[in-house]
Amino acid sequence: MSTTTAPPPEAAPPEHSGGGNDDHGHGHDHGHDPFLAHHFGSAKQQFDAGKFGMWLFLVTEILFFSGLFCAYAVYRSTHPEAFANADQYLDPMLGAANTAVLIFSSLTMAWAVRAAQLGQQQLLVRLLTITLSCASIFLGVKAVEYSHKWDLGILWSSMFNPQLHAHHSPALLVMSIPAMLAVVATAILFGLGKSKQKPVQAKFWGCLLITSLSYFGGVGLGLTVPVIEGMITGETAVEVAEHAAATEHAAVEHAAAENAAVKHAADHTADGAATTAATAGSVEAAAAEQVAIDMTYTGIFFSIYFVMTGLHGIHILAGMGVIAWLLYRSLLGHFGPRYFGPVDFVGLYWHLVDLIWIYLFPLLYLIG
């Protein structure tokens, strides 16, 4: 990006020009840059502007998430035990699986940028499809996690009410409805494209059909990982979580039965009440009180968990939208050595979404 000097007058193709092989022989194109907007002096200037704009946008994204990281830091530093306790409700293996999926999708995205630069059209389409599918798998795993927490009552603060046994609700099914609709819609559109001899449309919807189906692959992954884990350790992750919930639950109820004043504090969860109870002489009551406070802040932890992962999920969905747009444009053969800016910029965005997850994973799953 030019900072102090004016941009060079001539349109220079950014980066390396097509040393790479045009798979399709699509190279001989468009006499004068068809993608150069009128208000830019050169393709290089347009590329620089787009790239700088994307970096600035990523800065705003980081600051957007920073509020949540800040809230996390504040409550974790004031109530570390509660956060450590909350960790046992989360399955690190599922988090790790999703981390691996996202990192792999970053690889395919970066590779897609490279393919666009080299004009490898077919490879570009495949890599974008894989990237989309990985995003889908991620959402599938996430749906399994969310629905499981719904069944166990492990929700945000006002609805945080851990149950001993998961009541089986159709939560997972409900969450999967959009994906089912997507499968049906893309399948129909794929068929239409095929029958009407529109190869670009057919390919596009075909790739999106693969993407939609991948979601169910993700659901499958989310359901099998805990089973495999259970076979290795001899106890299922579900049971671990339920066990934790049971311990907590019993402690709270015990305290409630014992002392009315403690129950009052448990409802209102004033920090100071623990010390009050302790000075009153009942050590046992104080301990139960502490458990109640921990439960409150475990609820806050899950508020942060749901807001952060939810926002991250929305970013994944937005990323899928723009990658699908890239996919369509690459099927039209828009990208090549002379013009690959959009692939590059969306790639940057995707890496950031990935990076945020890389921070979320240890902060949420691995602090126990």
Binding site for other proteins (CB under 8 A): 1-4, 6-7, 9, 37-41, 45, 48-49, 52-53, 56-57, 59-61, 63-68, 70-71, 74-75, 156-159, 268-269, 271, 293, 296-297, 299-300, 303-304, 306-307, 311
Q: How far is the CB of 44 from other proteins (least distance, A)?
A: 9
- Nearer Cβ to other proteins, position 38 or 168? 38
- Nearer Cβ to other proteins, position 66 or 122? 66
Q: How far is the CB of 291 from other proteins (least distance, A)?
A: 14
Q: Which residues pair with 339 in a beta bridge?
A: 336
Q: How far is the CB of 273 from other proteins (least distance, A)?
A: 12
- Nearer Cβ to other proteins, position 79 or 203? 79
Burial 102-118 (b: 16+ CB within 10 A, else e): beebbebbbbbbbbbbb
Q: How far is the CB of 326 from other proteins (least distance, A)?
A: 17
Q: How far is the CB of 67 from other proteins (least distance, A)?
A: 4
The tokens describing 221, both together, are 């992954």
| Cα 109 from Cα 323, distance rounded (Å) | 9
- Nearer Cβ to other proteins, position 75 or 359? 75
In order of 111, 187, 198, 201, the CA distances from 191 in angstroms are: 30, 6, 10, 10
- Nearer Cβ to other proteins, position 37 or 227? 37
- In contact, 149 and 155? CB cutoff 8 Å: yes
- Nearer Cβ to other proteins, position 9 or 19? 9
Q: Which residues pair with 336 in a beta bridge?
A: 339
Q: How far is the CB of 362 from other proteins (least distance, A)?
A: 21
Q: How far is the CB of 277 from other proteins (least distance, A)?
A: 17
- Nearer Cβ to other proteins, position 111 or 306? 306
Q: How far is the CB of 35 from other proteins (least distance, A)?
A: 14
- In contact, 288 and 255? CB cutoff 8 Å: yes
Angle at 275 between CA 274 and CA 277, to 5 degrees: 65
Torsion 135-137-138-142 (CA) sign: positive
Q: How far is the CB of 45 from other proteins (least distance, A)?
A: 6
- Nearer Cβ to other proteins, position 60 or 195? 60
| Cα 216 from Cα 136, distance rounded (Å) | 8
Question: Which distant-in-sequence residues (6+ apart) come within 8 Å of 20 by Cβ?
Answer: 117, 118, 119, 120, 337
- Nearer Cβ to other proteins, position 69 or 104? 69
